[in-house]
Amino acid sequence: MLRRSIGVLVALVLLALAAACGGQGGDKRSVEPAEPTFSPSSTAYVPAVTRPNVLVIETDDMRSDELQFMPNVRKLIGQRGITFENSFAPYPLCCPSRATFLSGQYNHNNGVLSVKKPWGFQAFDDTTTIATVLQKAGYNTALVGKYLNGYGSEHRHDSTLSSRTYVAPGWTDWYAGSDHRYGSKSPLFGGTYNYFHYTQVINGKVVAHPDRYSTDVNASETRGRIRAYGKQKKPWFIWWTPTAPHFGRPHEKDDPAPLRDTKGKLERWPTPARPGWVRGIFDKKITHPLGTPPYGPAEADISDKPRLLSGTPEMDDAERKALTEVERQRAESLYVLDRQIGVTMKTLQRTGQWDNTVVVFTSDNGYFLGEHRKRQGKILAHEPSLRVPLLIAGPGIEHGQRYDPVSVIDMAPTLAQYAGTTMPDTDGTSFLRDLEQGDTGWTVPVVTEGRDDRKSYVRARSPGFESNGLDTRGLRLGRWSYIRYSTGETELYDLAKDPLQLSSEQDNPAYAGISRQLAALWTKYMNCKGADCQDPLPAKFRLTPAQEKAITDDEITRTNVYYDDHWTR
């Protein structure tokens, strides 16, 4: 969920919002967005610095508001760079999001639709990725950490060959966590999600790290590559992908025990493991789950939500206590990572590479922590799941904020432009101009997608879902969130009026015209490919920089008020 310090009175933000959006947020009559005006801009742009080193740090399942537990990231990246307030993971799930980062393609084009076969690792054609593009452009490249779910256990793409020691094309160095399941008595026992018995494939050889914390292992490996590459004339790209704060083994004594909700459903509370020195440091700071108010219900009425949510009961006190402990442990795992990021930034300084390195901090997807009564998870196209942190610092970048939308499909073309080359077959576009010069407005949608692998989900094939394997598809516009499900259900949110998505307007007659127009746009963009994904929205659905800022700042403020969470960046 999007949060930062309130800083201004809610009333002032609402007045600014009404002015920017034509004063229509609370109108019960037919709702039509105002038509903004835009200044023409050239698509040609030359970045201030070309061929810098690039370090991308991508966490696993981290929410934007969890930045409050990472002081080094806020100071060393955020306070010397740009924070993107509208950063999205179009398919908010680990493997699909990472495949999109590598390819610059929506998942309906790259084929990765789940963390499970046949939709996970083996579905991804990794012969052309941002790694192969940058390597061809003369970069040293390194993957350090998690790759794609199923790597090591599933066969390679379009092959029956094992991936147990596979090294993907384009990587100078390969330090990838392995998902292969070795026997409990094997010295290689562990894997990507065992924090204290981490197993990797290092340049084709399986290596175990017993009794070492995986965050520390990956941080040390990253710094080793920084030092080694810094001695060469080539620029470098490192994709550092720690597991934190994703849940993982081993089980610990203070992990919350399974509980049954008020309807009798058994709920488990998976958490990340963490070293002893960090345990308990946030117990006084974290007093309730980040996705629920300190008092009262998370959402009093969820009858407007799809069936997979609408029958979910509110959490009782025992569940709230368990979910509070989940967040404490997530925060602790992130704080460990933050300490390692601080050391890594010092390594860049000491090796003389600080001034020529672009540092990107982000996450593969967001995470529910009680919003809409959903205890934990992602995939759904609601804000807590869809939004991800994105902070970028480096040469040519001044401190500030950006409100234009950026999604994972835009990362590969942006990194390619930094290297003086282009990303082929991408659905995204470079945001370097926005990064260095400022917002231009919200002119294209973010296409959202998801698949729910639970057997309990009724996978009815409504129009648009007949054979593509997806269960949810939608559009995230500046003011509107439009979501359809394979069951035929639909959600529509006016984010200028309801930024927390508490009340769907799909059945509100006042929004009937908007609903029809969004349905048409849904049909237009759902299977977009290449340049068609960047086709501008009709003028009435675009936002100027002032409008997108007003709506986003209002969302930040209302979210802070609702969850009583006034943290400062």
pLDDT tens-digit series, residues 407-431: 999 999 999 999 999 999 999 999 9
Q: What is the mean pLDDT of residues 359-377?
A: 96
CA distance 387 to 559: 13
Q: Are 543 and 478 in contact (CB under 8 A)?
A: yes
How would residue 13 be classed by pLDDT, with cut points 50, 70 and 90? very low
Q: Mapped to the 3 state alphabet, what secondary structure does 319-352 carry? A: HHHHHHHHHHHHHHHHHHHHHHHHHHHHHHHHCC
Task: Please tell me whether residue 56 adopts helix, strand or coil conformation.
Answer: strand
CA distance 65 to 4: 7
Q: How much of the chain, in percent, has pLDDT values that exceed 90?
A: 80
Phi, psi of 249 (to 5 degrees): -80, 170
Q: Is the peptide bond before 245 cis (omega within 30 degrees of 0)?
A: yes
Whether pLDDT at 79 is above 90? yes
Positions of E strands within 53-117: 53-59, 81-84, 87-88
What confidence score (pLDDT) does residue 94 get?
A: 96
What confidence score (pLDDT) does residue 568 get?
A: 45
What confidence score (pLDDT) does residue 38 get?
A: 44
Q: How many domains does the chain have?
A: 1
Whether pLDDT at 405 is above 90? yes
Q: Provide the 8-state DSSP code for 267.
A: E
What confidence score (pLDDT) does residue 36 get?
A: 56
301, part of any domain: no
What confidence score (pLDDT) does residue 203 get?
A: 98
Tokens of 322: 């368990």
Q: What is the mean pLDDT of residues 17-36?
A: 49
Q: What is the mean pLDDT of the chain?
A: 90
Q: What is the mean pLDDT of residues 455-477?
A: 76
4, part of any domain: no
31, part of any domain: no
How would residue 28 be classed by pLDDT, with cut points 50, 70 and 90? very low
> Which are the contacts of 556, defined by CB distance < 8 A and separation ≥ 6?
2, 3, 4, 6, 85
342, part of any domain: yes
Q: Give Cα 211 distance to the centre of its chain.
A: 30
What are 235-263's pLDDT values in tens digits?
999 999 999 999 999 999 999 999 998 88
How would residue 465 be classed by pLDDT, with cut points 50, 70 and 90? confident
∠215-156-430 over CA atoms, to 5°? Answer: 65
pTM, to two decimals: 0.93
Q: Are 447 and 107 in contact (CB under 8 A)?
A: no
317, part of any domain: no
Q: How much of the chain, in percent, has pLDDT values that exceed 70?
A: 90
pLDDT higher at 129 or 298: 129
Beta strands at 53-59 and 236-241: parallel, antiparallel or unpaired: parallel
378, part of any domain: yes
Q: What is the mean pLDDT of residues 192-215?
A: 96
CA distance 333 to 323: 15
Question: What burial class does residue 181 get, using C-beta atoms within 10 Å of its C-beta: 0-12 exposed, 13-18 middle, 19+ buried?
Answer: middle
Name the residue range of residue 226's domain: 52-249+323-563
Q: Where are the alpha helices (DSSP H) in 179-243?
A: 214-230
CA distance 477 to 497: 14
SS3 content of the chain, % helix, strand, coil (to 5): 30, 15, 50
CA distance 78 to 87: 14
CA-wise closest residue to 247 among 141, 326, 139: 326
What confidence score (pLDDT) does residue 569 get?
A: 43
Residue 411 belongs to domain with CATH number: 3.40.720.10
Whether pLDDT at 356 is above 70? yes
CA distances from 465 to 7, 197, 381, 462 (A): 44, 41, 16, 6
272, part of any domain: no
Q: Are 481 and 304 in contact (CB under 8 A)?
A: no
Tokens of 157: 């793409």
Task: Please tell me whether residue 453 adopts helix, strand or coil conformation.
Answer: coil
Count Cα neighbours of 162 within 13 Å in the Cβ-side half-sphere. Answer: 8
Whether pLDDT at 207 is above 80? yes
CA-wise closest residue to 442 among 361, 516, 552: 552
How would residue 468 be classed by pLDDT, with cut points 50, 70 and 90? confident
CA distance 31 to 520: 17
Q: Are 69 and 338 in contact (CB under 8 A)?
A: yes
Whether pLDDT at 565 is above 80? no
Q: Are 341 and 57 in contact (CB under 8 A)?
A: yes
Whether pLDDT at 26 is above 50? no
pLDDT higher at 455 or 509: 509
What confidence score (pLDDT) does residue 44 get?
A: 64
Q: What is the mean pLDDT of residues 280-289?
A: 95
Longest dimension (CA), the chain: 68
256, part of any domain: no
pLDDT higher at 46 or 332: 332
CA-wise closest residue to 68 among 218, 201, 191, 245: 245
